[in-house]
Structure formats: structure tokens, C-alpha cells
Amino acid sequence: MSNNKWNMSNHTFQSIIIILLLVAMIVFSVVDFHLFENIKDQNMITNSILRLLGGFVFIIIITGFGYSKLFKASHFWKSLVIIIPALIISINNFPIIAFLDGRAVLTEPVYRVYLFFIECLTTGFFEEIIFRGIILIFLVNKFAHLKNGLLLSIVMSSLFFGLIHIFNLYSGASIIDTLMQVGYSFLVGMMWAVMFLKTKNIWLVMILHATFNFFGQVMFYLGNVDGRYDIYTIVLTIVLAIMVSLYVIKQYNQINSSDTMPRDIA
């Protein structure tokens, strides 16, 4: 078989898979399967399936454009060490002191914690492919000729990531809570962008995203929290934010132009 015929056959196969995945997404979005009696269980499972399917659609598309190396986890342990400070930020998103003081209590069955963690994993999987794997890389290419193109790419991709959370208003969130989420999503988006460009390991950045969501929301979604922001939590959060911000800036300054070029991850 010639290369041209092989490429046509491969593209046809990819197109078929994409169509099937999209059909599956539409079915899960429209049809109410009533797999679980509890609405939280139903929502978590449905959301996880939809994001997983959507992520696979984008993986196939990205791979078809020649960016297969984006999904290769090279230098895993070295990359893991690099992201540890960012992982600490994720863990600190949990109301630790409130939990230890008994002000944060889990009220739902433990199995729902696992379902919620799965949902957070699929959220990180889906959103990181879009915002770091597609949008960030596109912007890096777009602004490669500019002196501060890398910084502009990080800021813009993170801004898109933050602003997308405005849609939480439609799910009943208050304006203040939504604006706060837009703000800290923008900040952590920049941190994850630097971690991705530094490590070239999108899987670890997905873990950062998933753990940040999980630790920050699990007790609020599946329990009760009374007074999350005590003085100790506020001080600890500020200190960690300053320290990790300085660390991220250092990692950003160590990224040279070749670290961000598509040929290194495509």
C-alpha cells in the first residue's frame, strides 16, 4: 500500500472514530438512562463519560495534525519533581484546618468521593487538552515571532480558561463566587501553562487540574463546611501562594525558546 493510500485510509478511520464518539456524546447528553437513583451519582457518571469521550475526540484530532508527542510522558520522574510545588497548591485547596477542627464534615457515602474524584480526573483530562494542549500551543505558534510571545501566549490562554467559568452563572452560582472563580482560574491556569511548557507532560498537568478541583470542592459538594477561611488558613494560603508564585516565575525564566517550539512536542 502506498503512503498516500495509507494516509487516506488512516484519516478515514480517524474520521469514523470521531463521528462515533460524537454520536455517543450526543446520546449521553440527550437520553436519560436513569442508571442511578441518586441525582448526584447520575450527574457525576454522565459528566465523566461526556468529558472522557470529548477528550478522546480532541486527542484523535490533535494526533491527526501531527502532534502525537503531546501525549507522550517523557522524563516522568523529573517532571513529577518539577510540579510538586503546584501539587501542594492543589492539596492546600482542601479545607485542611476546618476538617481537622471538625468544621468540615463529609455527609455523603464514601463511594461518592470516588465518583467525584473520577469526575475531576475527566474534567482535568478534557480541559487540559483544550486549554493547554490546543489553545496554548496554537498561541505559542502564533506569537513565536514576538519578543514576549511566550508570556502573551500563557496569559491569553489562561484568560480564556478563566473567562469560560463565567458560564457558571447559568448553573446558579452567584456573581461574586463566579468572579472569584474566574480570577483564581486565570492564576492557576498560568501556573499550569508554565508547568506544561517546562515539563512537556500534559498528563501531569491534568493531575494538577484534577486534584485542584477535587480538594477544593469535595467537602462542599459531598459534605458541609463551616468557616473555611480561618486566620491560619488565610496565612498559610498567602505564604504558599507567594512561594509557589516565585517558583513558577523561576521555572518560566528557565524556559528557552526551543522548549516551547511545536517540534519538541509534535
Residue 14 has pLDDT above 80, yes or no: no
pTM for the full predicted model: 0.89
* 105 strand-pairing partners: 224
- Give the torsion sign (CA, 192, 153, 131, 79): negative
pLDDT in tens, 15-39: 777 788 778 777 756 666 666 778 8
Q: Name the more confident of 20 and 243.
A: 243
Report the C-alpha gap between 184 and 159 in whole angstroms. Answer: 10
HSE (side-chain half, CA atoms, 13 Å) at 177: 8
Report the C-alpha gap between 56 and 52 in whole angstroms. Answer: 6
Mean pLDDT, residues 138-148: 90
At residue 53, the pLDDT reads 93
Angle between helices 202-221 and 76-92 (to 10 degrees): 20
Q: Tell me the backbone φ, ψ of residue 104, rounded to 5 degrees.
A: -120, 115
At residue 86, the pLDDT reads 98
Residue 214 has pLDDT above 60, yes or no: yes
pLDDT in tens, 115-133: 999 999 999 999 999 999 9
Cβ–Cβ < 8 Å for 23, 98: no
Residue 220 has pLDDT above 60, yes or no: yes
Report the C-alpha gap between 156 and 199 in whole angstroms. Answer: 20
Q: Is 62 helix (H, G, I), strand (E, B) or coil?
A: helix
pLDDT in tens, 34-70: 667 788 998 899 999 999 999 999 999 898 888 888 8
Query: Which contiguous run of DSSP H or E holds residue 224?
Result: strand 223-225
At residue 213, the pLDDT reads 97
How many residues are there in the chain?
Answer: 266
At residue 1, the pLDDT reads 47
Residue 6 confidence class, pLDDT cut points 50, 70, 90: very low
Mean pLDDT, residues 76-105: 95
At residue 191, the pLDDT reads 98
Could you tell me what percent of the chain has a pLDDT over 90?
62
Query: Which contiguous run of DSSP H or E holds residue 171?
Result: none
